[in-house]
Amino acid sequence: MSKGKERAIVVKRVTAAKKSHHGGAWKLAYADFMTAMMAFFLLMWLLSSVTPVQLKGIAEYFQQPLKAALFGGDRSAEDSSIVKGGGRDISTDKDGVTRRSDGDTTNATRTASKSDDEAINQQQGSLERREQVRLHDLQIKLMAAIEANPILRQFKQQIRVDSTLTGLRIEIVDTQKRPMFATASDDVEPYMRDILRAIGQTLNDVPNRIVVQGHTDAVPYAGGEKGYSNWELSADRANASRRELIAGGMDEDKVLRVIGLASAQNLNKADPLDPENRRISIIVLNKKSEDALTRDDTSTTTLSNDAAGAKALGSAFGAAPAVAPQPVTVPAKP
């Protein structure tokens, strides 16, 4: 190549490589996160602005969401709503004026009343639960006392302790081989005396009052029901049992009633003559049953103040009023 000939100049330009795009997935995730946070704070704000009654209504809706829709009923919105569906007419004679309540109470009064009722129900439920625990502890203590006492342990097949709707029921059941009382008498046998006195000492551990019931079988007396009968015998045996409970250390004021039921409530309904039907029942009443019995003793209902009114009442039904046989009740006195 000649020196005079120009050499070609080659210019190499290097272009920087473009960075690849990372995509927008993170933007979607961030948007979802912000939406969730906004919904969360909105929920917190709403929950802080509603009343406890409305919160309860919301909770009940989510527990049974279709109940209000299908069957109707109170909703949380009704607590603050001026117009309640199916309520009284809230219109007035004045144009453009409506009442803010149904005419009886204001919304604030209704809310306060509901809150008071809820507090009372919660307190009553708490008392009932504590009482159930107390009666359950008494049942365990009684069974433990029977097992610990060598004399009572041999009679544990005749002692039954169970829970009922009225309270704790303790029953001492008779058997043909080991009767609790002398035949046709209220004389307490020695082993029965030991059982009753051991139970009486334990009953002072609870403040509940008791009812003592006497039961017999259906074997009639020779003179029938006109003279001394199973009614009197069951009442006498129940009262004799009460005396033994007190002799064992039980406070005499704990006895609310002493009742003779004869053979009206047999254990073995298939065989009214079964010795098992002869028994003594000691019922440790719960508060609800005790209040019911006390209320029945102090409340009366008068249908008419004169004999003519009672006669007219009987004539209205086409017959004279029938008097059902009643259990014999002995006053609770030592």
The rounded Cα 193 to chain-centroid distance in angstroms is 35
Please state the rounded mean pLDDT for residues 222-249.
90
List C-alpha distances in Å: 41 to 28, 44, 160: 20, 5, 60
The verdict on residue 150 lying in a domain is: yes
Domain assignment present for 176:
yes
In the chain, the largest separation of any two C-alpha atoms, in whole Å, equals 164
Examine residue 244 and state whether it is found in any structural domain, yes or no: yes
Do the domain assignments include residue 36? no
The answer to whether 181 touches 241, Cβ cutoff 8 Å, is no
Q: Indicate the pLDDT class of residue 256, thresholds 50, 70 and 90.
A: very high
| Cβ(139)–Cβ(159) below 8 Å | no
**Can you say whether the dihedral through the CA atoms of 61, 65, 66, 69 is positive or negative?**
positive
Distance from C-alpha of 248 to C-alpha of 194, rounded to nearest angstrom: 9
30 part of a folded domain: no
The whole-number average pLDDT for the span 38-56 is 84
Residue 15 maps to a domain: no
Give the distance from CA 25 to its chain's centroid.
Answer: 58
Which is more confident, 196 or 296?
196
What average pLDDT does this structure show over 149-167?
A: 84
Residue 192 within any structural domain of the chain:
yes
Say how many C-beta atoms besides its own lie within 10 A of residue 47's C-beta.
11
Name which of 32-46, 117-131, 278-292 the model is least confident about.
117-131
How many structural domains is the chain composed of?
1
Q: Which of 295-304, 312-321, 323-332 has the highest mean pLDDT?
A: 295-304
Over range 50-72, report the average pLDDT: 67
Between CA 199 and CA 246 the distance in angstroms is 10
> How buried is residue 126: exposed, middle or buried, by Cβ count under 10 Å (0-12/13-18/19+)?
exposed
pLDDT in tens, 160-207: 888 888 888 999 998 877 889 998 899 999 989 988 998 888 888 888
| Spatial separation of the C-alpha atoms in residues 257 and 213, rounded to whole Å | 8
Q: Are 184 and 233 in contact (CB under 8 A)?
A: yes
The answer to the question of residue 142 being in a domain is: yes
Summarize the confidence of residues 100-113 as an average pLDDT: 54
Out of 49-53, 88-92, 238-242, pick the least confident. 88-92
At 244, the amino acid letter reads: E
CATH code of the domain in which 174 resides: 3.30.1330.60
Q: What is the pTM of this model?
A: 0.53
Structural domain span for residue 259: 135-296+324-330
pLDDT bucket at 314, cuts 50 / 70 / 90: very low
- What confidence score (pLDDT) does residue 233 get? 93
